[in-house]
Amino acid sequence: MSTPRDINVRQKPAVAATGGATSTVLATKQLTKNFGGLTAVDSVDFSVKEGEVRCLIGPNGAGKSTLLELITGQLSPSEGEIYFDGTDLTEMDTHDRIDTGISVKFQSPHVYENLSVEENLQVPLQRTDRDAGKVSEETLDRIALSDEREEPASDLSHGEKQRLEIGMAVTLDPTLMLLDEPVAGMSVDETADVAALIRSLHDDGMTFLVVEHDMDFVRQISDRVTVLNQGEIFREGPIAEIEADEDVRRIYLGENA
């Protein structure tokens, strides 16, 4: 089977990364989710390539978070399939999907408030066979929380909690990292910190799928952008192209062309 060249979700994606940046790690096939009469995600064929930072944007109610929850397994699809690294995830429980190499960070901070920063990292780390002491140290350094390691997570600021949570997800050493609005409610400086963190992880070869509203942030991190509208893929392409697209500006950026 040849490696899919472009967005090609009609076929099962190639297993693992053989050729580097061109292999598909995540693919959805005709993915649909109905809530009663509402179709939140409508026959979405979508794929993410290894090593890219993909941003998912779209107006409120476009189905971005639903799509993410379908990928993590918190929701099960009404129709369609999800493949990750050649594995069919569609029927898998959330915790089993994580074991295939996906990590996720929710929209609102979900750290363990009563545990120390270091213990927060220990919870995901103890499930891996990585050197806990070393990885914990590296991660603390990376998320700039080394000095706060002994502090309970409840004492951290909003931005620090978001960084800690990204750090926790990263300790699992995932192939694909899913982030739902990682900079919501953050200051400009905090946003820049998170962007730098994502770029450095990206340089190490991690693939990202990021749901985000903040276009400045999207510009700082993304390779390609997918625009979702009314549960369907509306546009997909490089950030410059998307921002220049008049239809996108009309539906999402709220401009009258």
Residues that bind other proteins (CB under 8 A): 72, 74, 93-96, 98-99, 103-104, 106, 110-116, 119, 122-124, 126-127, 168-169, 172
3-state secondary structure of 88: strand
Least distance to other proteins, CB of residue 50, Å:
21
Least distance to other proteins, CB of residue 170, Å:
12
Least distance to other proteins, CB of residue 165, Å:
8
Of 45 and 173, nearer to other proteins (C-beta) is 173
Of 34 and 122, nearer to other proteins (C-beta) is 122
Of 135 and 239, nearer to other proteins (C-beta) is 135
Phi, psi dihedral angles at 229 (to 5 degrees): -145, 125
Least distance to other proteins, CB of residue 11, Å:
28
| Alpha carbons 190 and 155: distance in angstroms, whole number | 17
Q: Are 91 and 155 in contact (CB under 8 A)?
A: no
Of 92 and 253, nearer to other proteins (C-beta) is 92
Of 9 and 179, nearer to other proteins (C-beta) is 179
3-state secondary structure of 185: coil
Q: Are 70 and 83 in contact (CB under 8 A)?
A: no
Residues in CB range of 45: below 8 A, 6 or more apart = 7, 9, 10, 27, 28, 29, 30, 31, 233
Phi, psi dihedral angles at 210 (to 5 degrees): -120, 125
State the sign of the Cα–Cα–Cα–Cα dihedral 12, 16, 19, 22: positive
Cα–Cα–Cα angle for 69, 237, 59, nearest 5°? 50
Residues in CB range of 252: below 8 A, 6 or more apart = 57, 58, 59, 227, 229
Least distance to other proteins, CB of residue 126, Å:
5
The strand pair at 224-229 and 53-57 is best described as parallel
Least distance to other proteins, CB of residue 87, Å:
15
Of 153 and 228, nearer to other proteins (C-beta) is 153
| Alpha carbons 61 and 64: distance in angstroms, whole number | 8
Least distance to other proteins, CB of residue 89, Å:
13
Tokens describing residue 208 = 């990202």
Of 9 and 177, nearer to other proteins (C-beta) is 177
